[in-house]
Structure 1
């Protein structure tokens, strides 16, 4: 688990840099903001925006995980700055470019929250919620949905996790996701009624979900 004080210090440093970016955005200096973001990425990660955005989400994650574990510093800087880059493109009415920044940022945040077991009171969860909200009206990339499924279960949001599970299986039949679904319902069967209700779920819905899942053959 990431040390809470460490996250706070890193978030404070990132927040200071983002406050400067926000001032540029408020003055409608979007090109200057994009240039500043590129300089910050190079300064704190050694990579430019162009290079980062040329990589697939999976390749980016691999490049940040040389020993099989995500580099928290670089991952958080990139996730935070890509989100701001997406906002700058939003302000320029370029939803195509903003979409890819938001999805890549969310991909990294979801992986970081999973690998590091970040405390639930961390601001990173609000950042994740904000990104999910920005992508509500868009179709999510295939590689993002399993991580979002895992995230919702991790947060105890079982109804949302189930929605992601069946949407994914319907559009991207996958043996791995099918097995993940069975394991998901096995875990839910061990939970009490109160825990399920907190996740907007019930024992009856668990049984219905298992029955529906059994109809998938891959």
Structure 2
């Protein structure tokens, strides 16, 4: 009960801090806005954004666990803080600072969506779509593409997932076995599900043949 009360209070504090930071940004004080977010993360989470960016996703999620598993509130807070920092840096034209934050925040948000860790009223899906749109002009890391690949598949957007699979395959960002497993899962789907996912069975079969050819080429 104590942990739950603490997390709820922390979530409320985060909302206040992010609203204050947004106000500072609107007043033309981006550095003060960034400092406000960073001080909150350091004080309440013992985590600065630089550290969050430097950690693997797995290590960061481990840090955000109170009972052995990542909790929804901490994941949402860190993702929201990084997203707002990203938006501030983007407004300053500092893509080298904004893009990594958008990517890390997006991966955390997709992790929450895929693992039932959405915070009520947190607009998790809307935030994910906003970050996907923000990252559209950029070439993202393989880890971000893999997170999107898995999420789109689980959401039934099979054609989009397949496009990401081939992007990953062309840069060795995913194994041939993972791609093969994707097509095995699709093969088990009924035709209606494949149609709804904009990947009819004949196109899915053609995609599988192309994947096999690509992996043979890569292995050769």
Is the structural similarity TM-score above 0.5? yes
Structure with the bigger RCO (C-alpha within 8 Å, sep 6+) is 1
2:133 maps to what in 1? 133
Q: Cα RMSD between the aligned structures?
A: 2.7
2:83 maps to what in 1? 83
SS of 1:144's partner is helix
2:101 maps to what in 1? 101
Partner Cα separation in structure 2 for residue 147 and residue 98 of structure 1: 19
Partner Cα separation in structure 1 for residue 16 and residue 190 of structure 2: 44
- The 5 A counterparts of 1:47-196 are 47-64=47-64, 69-116=69-116, 118=118, 123-172=123-172, 174-175=174-175, 178-196=176-194
Partner Cα separation in structure 1 for residue 87 and residue 171 of structure 2: 29
Q: Assess if the C-alpha contact under 8 Å between 2:152 and 2:158 holds in 1.
A: yes
More deviation, 11-20/74-83: 11-20
* TM-score normalised per structure 1: 0.83
1:68 CA displacement: 6.2
1:148 CA displacement: 1.2
1:10 CA displacement: 8.1
Change (3 A) 1:9 1:41: closer
1:50 CA displacement: 3.0
* TM-score normalised per structure 2: 0.83
Partner Cα separation in structure 1 for residue 9 and residue 46 of structure 2: 20
1:9 CA displacement: 9.4
Change (3 A) 1:173 1:140: closer
Partner Cα separation in structure 1 for residue 9 and residue 152 of structure 2: 27
1:201 maps to what in 2? 199
Q: Assess if the C-alpha contact under 8 Å between 2:194 and 2:201 holds in 1.
A: yes
